[in-house]
Amino acid sequence: MTPLLVAALFGLLIGLSLGVLGGGGSILTVPVLVYVIGESAHRATAASLVIVGISALTGMAVHARAGRVRLRSGALFGVIGVAGSVAGAQLSGSVDPQLLLALFAGLMLAAAVAMLRRTRRTDPLAADRIPGATPRPSALRIGVAATAVGLITGFFGVGGGFIVVPALVLALGYAMPVAVGTSLLVIAINSAAALVTRLAAGAQLDWSVILLFSATAAIGSIAGSLVAGRVRPRRLATGFVVLLVVLAGYMLARSLPHLL
């Protein structure tokens, strides 16, 4: 199996996760680009922004048709996070590649824990509210959450859906299906801001890989969005957690020896 075919298959998986869970899958993009395609850490995190952004927009369109996207709130949340996204993109370029990958592995473990806690607490799509959610959040809560999401997107080149979805539930009081759909708009805005910053700094992209990855991810995102309101993705999320932990362990095993 050629690296490009593997990339295409992973793109499908990433899009499927984005569509069903509103995030999570995009965190696989960077490891695939680095360890399967052979991209450098900095080029992979830049290319990931394109792939994640296209997948998010595709999935959002399907969710919007089903009435699960709050355009005004999602756009506001995303715009507030732009400053963090730009800052994260600028900071990422100055970090040692091996350290960047080690930190990325830590992010994957954090994502695994967040997803596991979410699936154990309640079925992500069946719940109407997560305990502690409030329909009238403070401006400070929204600002902190949006900036943190943007910072992670810009620095690591991921959508940050595993943070965006809980943030929308807890900060804006959204039901889970609405939070999933709206998160894709937030991801798209943050990805675009970070990508512009990377390109302005001279980032080089391999468009043949990006377009292939994006095409299959878009297909997966559409498929995932179509079934998002009908399935309970507890098992999918649990399996994904296991995959994240395994990949994080592999990345740490590859990166830490160089750092030490």
Residue with tokens 């050629």: 2
Task: Supply the pTM of this predicted model.
Answer: 0.74
Question: Quick one: average pLDDT of 9-37?
Answer: 76
**Given a cut of 50, is residue 23 above it in pLDDT?**
yes
Q: What is the pLDDT of residue 118?
A: 65
Give one word for 215, left, alpha or beta, with left for phi > 0 and alpha for psi -120 to 50: alpha
Burial group, residue 122, by CB count within 10 angstroms (0-12, 13-18, 19+): middle
Structure tokens at 86: 């730009």
9 burial level (CB within 10 Å; 0-12, 13-18, 19+)? middle
Q: Best-predicted range by mean pLDDT among 30-39, 117-126, 163-172, 180-189?
A: 180-189
Residue 183 and residue 158 in contact, taking contact as beta carbons nearer than 8 Å: no
> Average pLDDT, whole number, for the chain?
80
Exposure string over 60-84, b if 16+ CB within 10 A, otherwise e: bbbbbeeebbbeebbebbbebbbbb
130 pLDDT more than 70: no
- The mean pLDDT of 148-168, rounded to a whole number, is 80
